[in-house]
Structure 1
Amino acid sequence: MTRTARRRGPGTLLLAALSALALAGCSLWEPVDVSQIEKHTVDPDARVIRFAHQYDPAHPVESCGAATLRTELADDGIAVETYPSGQIGGEGETTEQIATGGLELGVVGPSFLGIWYPEAAVLDAPYLFTDVDQFDEATNGPIMAEVYDEMAEETGLRVTSTWYYGTRHITSNVEIDEPDDLAGLKIRTPDAPLYITSFAIMHGSATPMALSEAYLGLQQGAIDAQENPIPTIDVQKFYEVQEYLNLTAHMVQAVNIVTSERFMDSLTPAEREGMEDALEKARIATRDCIVEAEEETLRQWAEEEAITINEDVDVDAFQQLIADELPSKVAWGDLYLELQESVR
């Protein structure tokens, strides 16, 4: 049965609240052990792969994921050069560079990838998953594999791995317990249409803004709230200008590691096998680092009273709004329901 045919069946609704998943991993916000990297002298004849992303060098995408990728590929005669902090542009520019051959590898969020292939945006949908276990099962499962194969055939872009970015929550200066508490609040979000649609359903008002501008926007009152994973909230120091962390858990979020079919076809069989193995190890390292960072940061904030942690959010109410309205407002509503069904 094809994926399109399967999506015609009914999907179950999201019913359980987000649960924590304890995983072993890297230390909080510290780079992974680079001793193995330093032992390698880069062969002047090594094949150089350029890897670009938007995150700070201290972020696990770089310190755990990219570092693991660099280590694992060194013995295969491949040198990974990373460009963090948006050095070559935003996610849109990164995707264009990959498509045109100017860049080999980059991190692209599902909403931005959805501009090239709409169904890829599904992983940015709210309340798609309830925890990291479901996230791992679905993003490494046959449904998304088929989506990515179809995208590669149509666009030439290939998702080689999907990494856990974190679970998004809302910070604000008022307590948010239920959807009506979002009414009238200007909530900073990434500049992607899906966020605007999703927060409108949740009774909020999305205000697209660059992440680099959000702290000042909150400080000056241009925006009232913002939403991000806990590690990002910590690095951006939003707890300095917000009173509440409301555990809405509205998105268990992915980032895609994207390359081109042209680049993958240029690899020898041995290089391709090494690349796939290295990406899998990097995926696991990034997930473990982020989960540990989420758990440890919450503990620190609670002990230091850095921000009031609101655990009394009626997550079911937010979930129900999304379940009732989102599938009919997006082109990939059936895929959303099918992914939920696959991990229940």
Structure 2
Amino acid sequence: MGSDQEMMLRIKRVPTVVSNYQKEEAEEGACRGGGCGRNCLQKCCVQGARIPLYAFKKVASVGEKDVNGHGCHDNPVAFLDSLLLGEWEDRMQRGLFRYDVTACETKVIPGQYGFIAQLNEGRHLKKRPTEFRVDKVLQPFDEKKFNFTKVGQEEFLFQFEASKDGEVQFIPNAPVDTENSSSVVAINVSPIEYGHVLLIPHILECFPQRIDHESLLLALYMAAEAGNQYFRLGYNSLGAFATINHLHFQAYYLGVPFPVEKAPTEKISTLDGGVTVSELLNYPVRGLVFEGGNTLQALSSIVSNVCICLQDNNIPYNVLISNCGKRIFVFPQVMTWKPGRCDAFLAS
């Protein structure tokens, strides 16, 4: 190829199925009396629904240890950590996943950054059409399209809520709080890694895919409560690889550092509450790094303000929560539909 010719790399964005009850087109007709037969969380089935409840203790400090005395550790010993993995493996044994992600070949690509590549044919073969416009970050929720209230209850692992008495509690058979709309953790039936789950804040409220202060803080609480440095949470806005317009975070385990976690940074400023803001250096994508802070709420407030500013200005973005909620990466993006760009999220 001549030097005057340019080779364009384009990695196709493939929407994937995240629930066994997800359909190619919007469901038609109202649910029949007595339930729809899918045991979902819509009005037809939610009355009397019971899902395990994990009530976490709110921590004030970003570095505060969890109730069992564990900080961010190498081995999964915290109760939430073992609960999540135990329930996830139970669903795997019951055949609820569309493929065995543990059988997918994964390797570290040689080179400066050490990006992680995975051959995951299952996600590609289960693709579906995107059900919303691809040029708007903020779009209204549409109940006619797929959303997580249509998921069968067997795909939910547990409810995740703040404890009312300040102590960690686990209730194996708790009623779903329809009045206050429980937050839930569900499996992603097309996983990209071991323990891949979805955190869905206040599922029955049917919020569209947009970050607010409360939802991001909930994600940080989950990262802190898991207490495992190999457990990360992420968020994709519409236009930056999200395929479902129902508020949710992705979370999974990876036993090695993400390349971006090892990337050099340069400090920009220290903001109110002791939160440090830095920028990535010598990395293929631009990104900001937020860490520290006197309280978990201070860190969450700063980052959520940034996310709200981006989405209000129609700028798609990705978020990565690492180091047990102590470090947050924000990656402003351009719309994934634009021609001629590489549609791979290289940050992870």
TM-score when scaled to structure 1?
A: 0.26
TM-score when scaled to structure 2?
A: 0.25
Larger relative contact order, structure 1 or 2 (CA cutoff 8 Å, min sep 6): 1
- In terms of fraction of residues, the more helix-rich structure is 1
